[in-house]
Amino acid sequence: MLPQGLGSPWLLGPHLPHLAILLRLTPWGCRSQLPGAPRVGGVEAGEASAQLHRRTQAVNTRHLAAEDVRLLHCVGDPGVSDWFDENYDPDISPVWTRDNIQLPSDVYYWWVLFNQTEKACCHLSLPPRAGTLGISVLCYSPSLNPTASQVLLRLFQVIPGRSPYGSWDPGRCLRCAVVGNSGNLRGAGYGPTIDGHNHIMRINLAPTVGYEEDAGSHTTHHFMYPESAKNLAANVSFVLVPFKTLDLVWITSALSTGQIRFTYAPVKQFLRVDKDKVQVFNPAFFKYIHDRWTTHNGRYPSTGMLVLFFALHVCDEVNVFGFGADSRGNWHHYWEQNRYSGEFRKTGVHDADYEAQIIERLAKAGKITLFPGK
């Protein structure tokens, strides 16, 4: 099942408990921890958020500043966690580029077929013409659609198609914040801490105007799929999370001809973003997370898990906020007035409890530090 529109829990980003997490991670370099930050061990499924809150209420993290960071050890250091060492692959690229345009066959068929039961049609604003997208798309199906590499070649005529993330520099310490959409951000006062990072990654709707004190005001990377996409400021990278080949057709259209207005739901006909900053999430990286980290629990990983591991592979330090239930156990977005929403827990697409355990296990291994919000 694909995300069901803008009112759905997919706007949370992660369907996993979006525990307000402070991650300080690096695939190769430094890991830091804020002074007094709690270390959290393994927790049984369903209890992660509640126990995390109980263990960390005494820690005052409301006004932690970037200069309070102290280096501890490298996340990539071997021997800290056999589980992490066995599963972590520093060489796989989270970005789909010209260099890895051809997916391995097992990845391609998994990516195409995991939503094969969905029927997604796209409506064209005008009849397709020669010299537009070069694709006449009336109704999408995996068997009739152009291959992903064919569509990507057209997309890479519009966007750079290169990874902006270079090789590791031992003198660099790139600090990143991954900001989920949990209601536990409200009243947490994390805004200044979030804004004090080099990269700030947000997911789906994620409004900031009016929520600056708790959620921050700056964004450098925004992860969305077509049905949740919105216009972005010129200094923000749009990272497309594609669930189907049609999503690649849509982004090509939205940045050029505007032919596509509908997939399985209405989508933006034109998208105002910086074309030079558009990136595409790599399905091979998607499957890597599904195989090694969530180990096929749920139909596929939540968007939150995708962004979390994206950060693990491109950043030296990563703080992640706004994941999980609030202190009362409620699941809702920080911009919602209804504390008792949270139907996403019932979708069955992702295994929220298992994903929470993965986060807890990363904490127990000393790879991350978790903060609960309010």
- How confident is the model over 289-332, as pLDDT tens digits? 999 999 998 888 999 899 999 988 898 777 888 887 777 777 78
More confident of the two residues 35 and 288: 288
Distance CA 65, CA 35 (A): 10
More confident of the two residues 257 and 54: 257
Tracing tokens 């979006």 back to the chain, one arrives at 18
> In the predicted model, is pLDDT for residue 10 greater than 60?
no
Mean pLDDT of 185-194: 93
By the 8 A CB rule, do 317 and 174 touch?
A: yes
> In the predicted model, is pLDDT for residue 175 greater than 60?
yes
> In the predicted model, is pLDDT for residue 74 greater than 60?
no
**CATH code linked to domain 15-370:** 3.90.1480.20
Q: Point out which residues pair with 56 in neighbouring strands.
A: none
Distance CA 255, CA 271 (A): 6
pLDDT given at position 332: 81
Q: Which tokens in the block code for residue 186?
A: 């409200």
pLDDT given at position 40: 37
Distances in Å between the Cα of 111 and the Cα atoms of 96, 170, 180, 310 are 13, 35, 24, 18
Which pLDDT band, with edges at 50, 70 and 90, does 34 fall under?
very low
Averaged confidence pLDDT in the chain: 75
pLDDT given at position 35: 36
More confident of the two residues 82 and 173: 82
pLDDT given at position 45: 33
Mean pLDDT of 107-122: 68
Q: Where are the domains of the chain?
A: 15-370
Active site residue ranges: 300, 350
pLDDT given at position 339: 61
Mean pLDDT of 119-140: 44
Distance CA 300, CA 113 (A): 12
Which pLDDT band, with edges at 50, 70 and 90, does 288 fall under?
very high
